[in-house]
Each structure stands twice: as C-alpha cells, then as structure tokens.
Amino acid sequence: MGDRGLLLEFGDEISPEVNEKVRRMALAIRATSIEGIVETVPTYRSLLIHYNPLILSIEELKKRLKGIENGLQQAPFPEPKLTRIPVLYGGSYGPDLEEVAKYHQISPEEVIRLHCSKPYFIYMIGFMPGFPYMGELPQELVTPRLKTPRLSVPAGSVAIAQRQTGIYPMESPGGWQLIGRTPAKLFDPEKEPPALLQMGDLVQFYQISEKGFKEWHE
C-alpha cells in the first residue's frame, strides 16, 4: 500500500482460522523486532505493515517476512483469554433492543438470552481505540445496520450488526444496533495495555440490572 505499507493477506473471508494466521504472523513479527518496521495493523484477514523505506528496502522486508513465515509453526502462541462483560440490556441503555426483537419476531428477553448464549471470538480491535469486532452472532440475531447511522452513540454501548457484535469504548457516531450498555471501561490511555480486550481473545456477555450497572466497579 503506497511507498511505505505492505499488506499481507491470509484469506478472503471472516473466519477464526484465517484470523489466527494473521495473529500468529503479527505476534511473530513483533517478537522479532525488525528495525525499519514502524507498525503492524492486524485485522480480520490481513496484516498491514508500515515500514520505513529509508531504513528497510521492500525487498529486504519481504525476505525477512518470508523467513518469519517459515518459522511460524514453532513460534509460541498464547491460549485465548475469556473476559466476562456485564451488560444492562434495553431501555435507554439499549434503544434498539425492541426493534431488533420485532425484526426477528421474538421477545426482547429472547434477544438477550441469545446474545448471552455463547462466548464470542475477537477478530480485531479497530475503528476506534478498544472497539472489539466479535462474532459470530447466533443466526437468529443476524440484523442489518441502521439505515441512518446515529451521530452520537454513548460510551459503553453494546451493539450488533450483521453477524458481528461490538462495544463502543467511547462516544462516537455509529450505525450498529444498540441493544445494551456495559459499565466496564474498555479503553484507558493511561493503562498498559490500554485496551481491556485483545484480538484473539473471547468475550462472554452476561446481563445485569440497573442497580448492578450503577454499583459496578472493576
């Protein structure tokens, strides 16, 4: 991409298998720390490498990457960590819950039960700091994005769109359907690491009451 980006592609679909390849490669590159690699951006199915062509030529970069790729199978790979995320569903906290239920002709309670029915895999953190793209939703919850995106979505909003679910760590515009809100803090620039969730890990949502939301602390 341009004169200082190289995009490595590992498949053309959203699947945990393709995503694991991206993550393995990203971890291995970080562990090798090659001078001239400025940044790696791992996403669903590709890995963007920002390099400094004044330090590292593209030929040399490709050669080094090939070397890393060949040693990938031996590289250590961490087990996924499961994080439980509390959610207050519906009402003003999840203004689209009723509509989502109506769309699928099920009750709001059933939407909540389905959303909490399984752990979700975090494919990537992107769009904004700490925003996890997670999947796949149960088939009964697959819902299109809003026709008109909201200009402002409150921080902590738990949302769904197509087969994905996500959480807005900070206030922003957004087009996903908002079904609830979490009191958990997903991003803190002063913390190390700054994001609560990481690519490759798992999230299990669970329902809390309004009282639970207000009294919740980390």
Partner 1 sequence: MARVEAFEVLKPGILTTVQDLGRYGFSQFGVPPSGALDPFSFRIGNLLVENQEEEASLEITIMGLKLKTLRDVVIAITGGDLFPTLNGESLEMWRTHLLVEGDVITFKRIRSGCRAYLALSGGFALPKIMGSRSTYLSGKFGGLQGRALKRGDILYTLDRPPPLNKLGLRFPSDWIPSFEKETVLRVIPGSHDHHFTEKGFKTFSSSTYQVTPQCDRMGVRLEGPKIERRSDVEESIISEGLISGAIQVPGDGKPIIILTELVTGGYTKIATVISTDLTKVAQLKPGDRVRFEPISIEKAHLLLIEQEGRLREFKRFVEQC
Binding site for partner 1 (CB under 8 A): 1-5, 7, 12-14, 26, 38-48, 50, 53-54, 57-58, 124-131, 133, 170, 172, 187, 189-190, 193-195, 198-199
Handedness of CA 188, 193, 195, 197 (dihedral sign): negative
Is 9 in contact with 46 (CB distance < 8 Å)?
Answer: yes
Length of the chain, in residues? 218
| In the block, residue with structure tokens 């990457």 | 65
Of 33 and 92, CB closest to partner 1: 33
Give the nearest distance from C-beta 151 to partner 1 in angstroms.
13
Report the C-alpha gap between 200 and 133 in whole angstroms.
10
SS3 state of residue 70:
helix
Give the nearest distance from C-beta 77 to partner 1 in angstroms.
15
Give the nearest distance from C-beta 42 to partner 1 in angstroms.
6
Give the nearest distance from C-beta 120 to partner 1 in angstroms.
17
Of 52 and 117, CB closest to partner 1: 52
Give the nearest distance from C-beta 68 to partner 1 in angstroms.
17
Of 44 and 121, CB closest to partner 1: 44
Report the C-alpha gap between 166 and 115 in whole angstroms.
11
Q: How many CB atoms lie within 10 A of CB 120?
A: 21
Structure tokens at 184: 């958990």
Of 5 and 71, CB closest to partner 1: 5
Of 172 and 207, CB closest to partner 1: 172
* CA angle in degrees (0–180, nearest 5) for 144-146-111: 60
Give the nearest distance from C-beta 13 to partner 1 in angstroms.
8
Of 48 and 114, CB closest to partner 1: 48
Report the C-alpha gap between 54 and 144 in whole angstroms.
45
